[in-house]
Chain A
Amino acid sequence: MLTWSDEAFVLAARPHGESSAVVQLLTRDHGRHAGLVKGGQGRRQRPVLQPGNRVAVSWSARLADHLGNLTLELEAANAAHWLDDAGRLSALASAAAVSEVALPEREPHPACFEAFQALVESLGGAHWAEVYVQWELLLLRELGFGLDLSSCAATGGNDQLAYVSPRSGRAVSLAAAEPYRDRLLALPGFLAGRGGGGPVEIAQGLRLTGHFLERHVFHPRDRALPAARQRLTQRFPAPLDAAGPAGVA
């Protein structure tokens, strides 16, 4: 019998049969991993299987490629903490839904686990939405589609970085972007090291990461961004003049 134990976040739980559930987890050392939770639809397990909850998990199976059985013990009821907060709940649900689709199964990504943990911890603070955008940036990097926001793709300098090329994912300075800035994505100030943040920059950040998630992760699988992610975006509607950069001196 093959077994391992790990720490994990619950990403999703689908009913299986009358009483069990197939649960998707983001584990620290085993990546995104699924397994069968017997009694997963029952009164005792359902509160544990809420997306975003942190659990101690044991997996066992006869063969490595079997789905296997999971036994879970709740470590942190993160979902319950934010049930009454529409914005934070949507961030938690979005992170779980995006992770479930984006991360390859059974491929360790400890950085994604740590980043998920950091995102959950940030929900208690004021800048949770900025952290969410940074979490998606890290997810893109872990998947091999990282954005280069350190220097201008045209000039090589790192002064007044204000846009991102939707093709290359590289930053573009305000001056170099001038002739075709309507075709570029705005780089929010908090991602360019200029502090800031706030609803307009968050909307820009979500648009930026959403573009690359769609292009590299979701569209190749013929899928749209998860509904939970779209609901999060709707909480930060971009004003009409938000296409341009914010906070560039």
Chain B
Amino acid sequence: MADGDIDRLIQLLARLPGLGPRSARRGALYLLQRRESLLQPLAAALTRAAESIVACSTCGNLDSSDPCAICRDPGRDRSTICVVEEVGDLWALERSGAFKGRYHVLGGTLSALDGRGPEQLNLGRLLERAGEAGTEEIILALSATVEGQTTAHYLVERLAGLPVEVTGLGRGVPVGGSLDFLDDGTLAAALKARRPAG
């Protein structure tokens, strides 16, 4: 039944982040009015993505091949692994272009509220990779939250004894940030992490 299919499409679109039932209805109508130029290519892309995209067995990144393109890239620095919570964090670092090493996606942080303990994180593979020859530094790029830093401290303890240097991201005044608009926590962290000027 046509009505049922449209309703189903609207319901599924409404489950996407940022979309409610109203905006999902608008989106569905927009797609249906552009059947050949948008709806069919989108449906094909979704099908292809569902079939081909897998989690990299090395780092946990999402890609259409395993190992992922980043793990396969011979131009990447093999001595450094940057640990992030989610794939979205990996994408953010890639957008910055500032990091040329490899990644490891933990799959979240330790969280009592969400019932996520060490067993639920992609931890075993990280310890294996940290122990591999050639790995020199593990960068913990986790959120500056209580859960993120609790996870970071836990990782530091687990990585102790392995022949790698464990570092964390700096915290402080963002580029373009004015002190007047910063929250107290960031200001306090920036003061604690002050360094010689010049």
Contacts and interface: CB of A to CB of B under 8 A. Distances in A.
Q: Is the interface of A mostly helix, strand, loop or mixed?
A: mixed
Contacts of B154: 231
A74 B145 contact: no
B134 interface: no
Given A76-B184, A77-B188, A227-B117, A50 B112 contact: no
Given A18-B18, A227-B117, A86 B183 contact: no
Interface in B134-179: 144-146, 149-150, 153-154, 156-157, 171
Contacts of B184: 74, 76-77, 80
A198 interface: no
Contact of B185 (A50, A51, A84, A86): A50
A77 B144 contact: no
A138 interface: no
A162 interface: no
A14 B112 CA distance: 11
24 contacts: A12-B113, A18-B17, A18-B18, A48-B183, A50-B185, A53-B185, A77-B183, A77-B184, A77-B185, A80-B144, A80-B184, A80-B185, A80-B188, A83-B146, A86-B153, A86-B156, A86-B157, A89-B149, A92-B146, A93-B146, A93-B150, A97-B112, A226-B112, A231-B154
Given A12-B113, A18-B17, 7 more contacts: A50-B146, A52-B146, A74-B185, A77-B184, A79-B185, A80-B185, A81-B185
Interface of B: 17-18, 110, 112-113, 117, 144-146, 149-150, 153-154, 156-157, 171, 183-186, 188-189, 192
